[in-house]
């Protein structure tokens, strides 16, 4: 049986499609499924065959890496359309600039360019940070805006991050429970620092290589970071601090 036919038969059995097209003839859905299958083979998620004794198509088996991808959950950069759909759902106000670099990161990852993926997702996280800087500034009174501008005028990501956290962690800033505590220290500050440090290593001539699991981990963490930053921005637009 044609490998695309097998995949579509399984999808029909799971209720994902209403009918199975005949893949012996030209069919757009069959072509798309076949393309995706080969992409997943090239990306190391599947390998051809069902065993060492039967290493040929149309059989497929998960690689060790592919198994780790499935065990990690539903979100995966190997499915960029679904990744972006979930990201937009979690962050409905995500801006075009951030999305541009996320898309570049996904494309680089799937092409096996893991250093490039780390740099691009780092730029995406910095893009969200810049939006947060603007939101914090807008929520401050005029006098505090002046001192905040002075503190952030150097224009470095770490400076922006540190000054934003300094403001948000003040005892007088009454953040809602949904975004303070662990959400602020782990999902915003912690993930940003991890992505930034990795991006700095990848984006400078250190000679250090980036492996697939490291790049995958950064991409999996970015939506959580993005979601929390957007919650902060939304709150700051209607509150003063």
Mean pLDDT by 10 residues, the chain (241 residues): 79 88 83 88 89 83 88 85 95 97 97 94 94 96 93 87 92 84 81 86 83 92 94 93 88
CA distance 107 to 130: 24
Give the number of other CB atoms < 10 A from CB of residue 188: 27
Domain residues of the chain, as ranges? 3-71, 74-236
Q: Which residues have a Cβ under 8 Å from the Cβ of 90 and sit 6 or more positions away?
A: 223, 226, 227, 230
Q: What is the predicted pLDDT for the residue at 166?
A: 93
Q: What is the predicted pLDDT for the residue at 197?
A: 86
Q: What is the predicted pLDDT for the residue at 113?
A: 95
Give the number of other CB atoms < 10 A from CB of residue 210: 18
Q: What is the predicted pLDDT for the residue at 205?
A: 84
Centroid of chain to Cα 117 = 10
Q: What is the predicted pLDDT for the residue at 150?
A: 92
Query: Which phi and psi (to 5°) does residue 60 adopt?
Result: -135, 150
Q: What is the predicted pLDDT for the residue at 6?
A: 81
CB 77 within 8 A of CB 212: no
């Amino acid at each position: 049986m044609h490998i695309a036919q097998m995949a579509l038969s399984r999808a029909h059995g799971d209720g994902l499609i209403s009918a199975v097209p005949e893949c012996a003839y030209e069919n757009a859905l069959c072509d798309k499924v076949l393309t995706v299958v080969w992409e997943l083979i090239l990306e190391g998620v599947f390998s051809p065959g069902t065993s060492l004794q039967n290493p040929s198509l149309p059989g497929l088996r998960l690689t060790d890496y592919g198994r780790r991808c499935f065990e990690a959950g539903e979100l995966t950069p190997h499915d960029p359309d679904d990744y972006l759909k979930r990201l937009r759902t979690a962050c409905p106000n995500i801006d075009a600039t951030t999305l541009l670099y996320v898309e570049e990161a996904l494309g680089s990852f799937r092409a096996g360019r893991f250093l490039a993926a780390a740099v691009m997702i780092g730029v995406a996280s910095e893009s969200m940070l810049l939006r947060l800087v603007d939101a914090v500034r807008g929520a401050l009174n005029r006098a505090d805006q002046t001192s905040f501008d002075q503190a952030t005028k150097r224009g470095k990501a770490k400076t922006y991050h540190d000054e934003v956290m300094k403001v948000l962690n003040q005892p007088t800033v009454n953040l809602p429970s949904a975004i303070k505590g662990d959400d602020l220290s782990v999902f915003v500050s912690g993930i940003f620092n991890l992505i930034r440090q990795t991006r700095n290593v990848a984006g400078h001539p250190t000679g250090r290589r980036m492996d697939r699991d490291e790049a995958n981990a950064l991409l999996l963490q970015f939506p959580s970071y993005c979601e929390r930053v957007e919650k902060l921005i939304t709150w700051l637009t209607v509150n003063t601090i």
